[in-house]
Amino acid sequence: MSGFVKKTIGEVIKDTAGRFPEHPALISPQFNVRHSYQELYDQCRKTAKGLLALGIQRGDHISVWTTNIPEWVYLQYALGMVGGVLVTINTNYQSHELEYILKQSDSTTLFLIDAYRETSFYDIARKVMPELDTCAPGKLATAGLPLLKNVIYIGKGGKKPGMFSFDDLLEMGEAIPDAQLDSRMESLDADDVINMQYTSGTTGFPKGVMLTHSNIVNNARMVGDVMGMTDQDSLLIQVPLFHCFGCVMSTLNCVYHGSTMVVLEYFDPEKALEAIDKEKCTAVNGVPTMFIAILNHPDFDRYDLKSLRTGIMAGAPCPTEAMNQVRTKMHCPEIVIAFGQTECSPVMTMTRRDDPVELRVSTVGRLLPDIQGRIIDPETDKDLPPGTQGEIVTHSACVMKGYYKMPEATQNAIDQNGWLHTGDLGEVDENGYFKVTGRIKDMIIRGGENIYPREIEEFLYTNPKVANAQVIGVADVKYGEQVLAAVQLKNGHTATPEEFADFCKGKIARHKIPKYWEFVSDYPMTASGKIQKFKMKEMFEKKLIAHSP
């Protein structure tokens, strides 16, 4: 591989702090945090020593359930120093999803904040682990989660029963000598799994994608190289850190290239405008809906965005008009498009900064330098000629180790020759530019969030009125797709959309709750009795268009 590097995440931040000690590293406006690279490195080491004091071993699984707070960044690098595997938890998750992830991932430790929007993480944790109210910190024993011992609370409001505070962790770490941490850092291998991202699949519940130091360090390196990132850049990070878009294409990209991270706790168009203006950001990452919300903000003209140069738009196709406005009104002439999936750490192709606009809106770019990709016939696995639709497959040292404790799903995703089958349909032109044309799987992408019908269907079956439930994505102007549930009720039952929406609230993430509810007596089927979701999609989209104002 031409530029492939063998480095752990701990080595990456150590090297950057050595090269640019005084350079601004992390700016978190909402928390009044401003760290130079030396200060950030020191803070990550203090956190890492706390993890050692807690007894975290190389390979232990540590779940982090917070918004984009400074501690998330400290934990990303501290876990990279001690070899603990960062298990990312979506901030939209509710009790059912939290319990599943903690259990499936074999997490020994959970970090959480108090609340986000209308969700109390603290209350949900106590619902899933009622023993927290009476146990001593570090001594949790919950029947359904036998490996989970430690819960660490990040936030104000003093001590919480059964939980350590983040300050307790830092205090415990003071007893750990520097030499002990250095020795742990030196014992790690770049091919160790360090990050576990949960992504669902058509087979139902979320799967833990195991990514190594090497997988994500190299992906961050290539992504930043395409953007032209250097120590002179500062990137506005408004995408969630629990996605690879946040923790690989954004934070790790910055740390690898010595750039400044300007981190917002969550996306807010006005806060984004303020931060770009005040911090003179040169780059901004986001899904198209974020860029559109910024451009359409009523106070847009009050802010100076002339410092901007580049950024990544990913997660959904970009409308031409939006791309043109980002380039001109937002002063981002070098904005690029990226495509990939969590299983390849995550980016496979990117447009380049000097590509003409038509390529930036009609394609997802060319392969990154150290990544291979082909279009194959999904039936025969044979290569297809340019301009022919087939499945996109990829091969590189960025392909995941596999799905945690799911050997069969791993075999289905990665063939014997190491090619990852993305499940995406696409084509490639003579110049190597890829287009994504559809999905073999039924995954729904709503505003950049991947939603897996089977997971929602499984949940809907827990409603005693439901005989069958089929979930599909229907076209939506704002979000790309919206969720529609077609429910077959048991004989003698009636129901309303409102009743079903209420049934979902607090149990599954808000973005997964179907926007549309249809009550049906049957489904379109094949001769062999398989439900034809593409026919349902056509049928309901026609109906929605007919009823739209």
446 contacts 438 by C-beta, under 8 angstroms: no
Q: What pLDDT score was predicted for residue 200?
A: 63
Domain boundary among 298, 328, 358: 328
Residue 306: C-alpha distances to residues 207, 260, 280, 291 (Å): 42, 17, 8, 16
Beta strand 516-519 with 480-489: parallel, antiparallel or unpaired?
parallel
Query: How many domains does the chain fold into?
Result: 2
Q: Is residue 204 part of a domain?
A: yes
Q: Is the peptide bond before 346 cis (omega within 30 degrees of 0)?
A: yes
pLDDT block averages, 10 residues each, the chain of length 549 = 86 98 98 98 98 98 98 98 97 93 98 94 96 96 96 90 97 98 98 92 74 98 98 97 96 98 97 98 93 94 98 84 92 96 97 93 94 93 94 97 96 96 93 87 84 85 90 92 95 95 95 96 72 87 86
Q: What pLDDT score was predicted for residue 437?
A: 78
Assess whether 65 and 195 both reside in one domain. yes
Q: What Rg do the C-alpha atoms of the chain give, in angstroms?
A: 23
Q: Is residue 427 part of a domain?
A: no
Beta strand 150-154 with 119-120: parallel, antiparallel or unpaired?
unpaired
Q: Which of 140, 146, 99, 94 is nearest to 119 (CA)?
A: 94
* 128 sits in which H/E element: helix 121-128
Distance CA(498)–CA(502), nearest Å, equals 6
Assess whether 462 and 323 both reside in one domain. no
Return the ∠ at Cα 91 (arms to 129 and 286), rounded to 5°.
Answer: 165
Distance CA(460)–CA(454), nearest Å, equals 10
Sign of the Cα torsion 287, 243, 364, 385 reads: negative
Distance CA(264)–CA(286), nearest Å, equals 12
Q: Is residue 284 part of a domain?
A: yes
SS3 197: strand
Distance CA(183)–CA(84), nearest Å, equals 15
Q: Is residue 258 part of a domain?
A: yes
Q: Is residue 337 part of a domain?
A: no
Distance CA(48)–CA(24), nearest Å, equals 21
Q: Is residue 423 part of a domain?
A: no
Q: Is residue 277 part of a domain?
A: yes
Distance CA(184)–CA(239), nearest Å, equals 31
Distance CA(279)–CA(30), nearest Å, equals 13
Distance CA(346)–CA(450), nearest Å, equals 13
Domain boundary among 287, 313, 328: 328
Burial (CB count within 10 angstroms: exposed 0-12, middle 13-18, buried 19+), residue 535: middle
Q: What pLDDT score was predicted for residue 204?
A: 59
Q: What pLDDT score was predicted for residue 526?
A: 56
Beta strand 283-286 with 260-263: parallel, antiparallel or unpaired?
unpaired
Distance CA(101)–CA(3), nearest Å, equals 35
Q: What pLDDT score was predicted for residue 530?
A: 62
Q: In CATH, what number is assigned to the domain containing residue 198?
A: 3.40.50.12780
Domain boundary among 328, 345, 377: 328
Domain span including residue 132: 9-328
β-sheet bridge partners, residue 116: 119
Q: What pLDDT score was predicted for residue 199?
A: 85
Distance CA(381)–CA(353), nearest Å, equals 33
Assess whether 236 and 99 both reside in one domain. yes
Tokens of 300: 């847009």
280 contacts 235 by C-beta, under 8 angstroms: no
Q: How far is CA 515 from the centre of its chain?
A: 22
Assess whether 147 and 284 both reside in one domain. yes
Distance CA(110)–CA(476), nearest Å, equals 36
DSSP string of 474-543? Answer: EEETTTEEEEEEEEEEPTT----HHHHHHHHTTTS-GGGS-SEEEE-S---B-TTS-B-HHHHHHHHHHH
Q: Is residue 135 part of a domain?
A: yes
Q: In CATH, what number is assigned to the domain containing residue 463?
A: 3.30.300.30
Tokens of 56: 């975290």
95 contacts 124 by C-beta, under 8 angstroms: yes
